[in-house]
Structure 1
Amino acid sequence: MSKLRILFLCTGNSCRSQMAEGFADALRGDAIEASSAGVVKHGLNPLAVKAMAEAGVDISGHVSKTVDELPDLDFDWVVTLCGHAAETCPYFPAGPDGRPRRVHRGFDDPPSLARDAKSEEEAMAHYRRVRDEIRAMVERIPESLED
């Protein structure tokens, strides 16, 4: 059986999409070939790296990239993780088999939530919550995409 090829797309490819790709690789690498990208590049968020390390997943080697920088991949699913990406998602033409299927699974933006945090620990609470929500979605793929 071939792996599901999934693109996780977010605004800046700095946090949520990186977390989703990291979990897909670490937890579902046998069934998913994951990629992530942003509408623009914001650079890898260090608190996202820290939150994922706490969950046992190393994304420190990931690089923030745009869709235009991806190799020519044929995706089964394009999953937008934030409203801005859903609204500005590049067009992925569906082939005769209906692929790629596009679905929106929105998650709060940890950097925005943590903007007024008084300490790194207070900020990390937002990253951890969103990280855990993304993990739950990834663990249930493909069901979580078809719901």
Structure 2
Amino acid sequence: MKKKILFLCTGNSARSQLAEALMRHMAGDHYLVMSAGMKPEGVDPRVYQVLSEQGIHDDDLHSVSALELQDQHFDVVITLCDKASNECALFADSDALIHWDFKDPKPEAGLAPFRETFEGLRARIALFLMLNGEVQHDVIGPVELFKIMSDPLRLRILMLIEDEQALSVSDLTKVLDVSQPKVSRHLALLRDGGVLQDQREGLWIFYRLAENLPTWIRHTLATVRNGNPGMINEEKLKLSALTDRKKPGFSLKDSTLSA
């Protein structure tokens, strides 16, 4: 069954119409997409002009009152302005309520403000689809993940493995300057929590990010790593200096966000 998504705004004339057309175009058949407004005003003609520039032809756009839809269940409701965000109570049984605050392009002249809104929505929708376009496995949630990352040693372990893709217990012990039992305890916690998985190769045990790790967790780890590039400089230098380092012989599945 398709998931239902609703874009909600005040006039349902610009931002929510662009979002509806874009989501339909980008998500294909994965969602049933609708939009509505608290005070519908009719679709601004510039919406069609900007969509046409991008090769998106959606003739099924029309303004709808949110009150007409309040008895329907939506899996996701995304509000696009502060006024509409106050009306989430109309859809209290929705599985997810999200707020993206976009400036209304209508008061400004020309197509430029609509193009800017279009690009902003395209980026938000692309990220939403990337993080929600998969079956969510029963692994840790956000609270548990941030608890794990709040420990400095576990965070460094995660950043090293995110960076190197796979590391042995021996390598981690040497570059982190902590005892093998302590490293093993933290690795076991990360493995049992579903963040890491281990793989034996002869006498060596390597740890890597779990294959079924949701994209949002991979994205979070990559963001922390790239946003703090100097976090594990010392450990990376020690790792490169190891002369007896054992590297895994198994093929590492590409886990980059672009895959």
**TM-score band w.r.t. shorter chain:** 0.7 to 0.9
Task: Indicate which of 109, 118, 135 corresponds to 1:131.
Answer: 118
Structure 1 residue ranges (4+ consecutive) displaced by more than 6 angstroms after TM superposition: none
Structure 1-normalised TM-score?
0.80
Q: How far off its partner does 1:60 sit?
A: 3.6
Deviations 1:16-52 (A, max 9, x none): 1111110111110222211100011100110111111
Gaps of 5+ in 2: 133-215, 221-259
Matches within 5 A, 1:55-74: 55-70=54-69, 72-74=71-73
Query: Which residue pairs with 1:21 in the alignment?
Result: 20
Q: Which is worse superposed, 44-53 or 70-79?
A: 70-79
Measure, in 2, the Cα distance between the counterparts of 1:56 and 1:75: 28
Q: How far off its partner does 1:71 sit?
A: 8.3
Give the % identical residues: 35
**Paired residue type of 1:57:** I
Measure, in 1, the Cα distance between the counterparts of 2:51 and 2:71: 28
Deviations 1:58-104 (A, max 9, x none): 2343110111233853211110001111123443233xxxx431110
Name the structure, 1 or 2, with higher relative contact order (CA <8 Å, separation 6+): 1
Structure 2-normalised TM-score?
0.47
Please state which structure has a larger fraction of its residues in helix.
2
Matches within 5 A, 1:57-96: 57-70=56-69, 72-94=71-93
Q: How large is the Cα RMSD of the aligned pairs?
A: 2.2
Distance 1:91 1:72, change over 3 A: closer
Count of matched residue positions in the alignment of Structure 1 and Structure 2: 133
**Paired residue type of 1:140:** L
Measure, in 1, the Cα distance between the counterparts of 2:56 and 2:63: 17
Q: Which is worse superposed, 49-58 or 13-22?
A: 49-58
Query: Which residue pairs with 2:103 in the alignment?
Result: 108
Gaps of 5+ in 1: 118-122
1:14 match: secondary structure: coil
Query: Which residue pairs with 2:31 in the alignment?
Result: 32
**Paired residue type of 1:109:** D
Q: How far off its partner does 1:106 sit?
A: 0.9
Q: Which has the larger radius of gyration?
A: 2
Q: Is the 8 A contact 2:70 2:90 kept in 1?
A: no
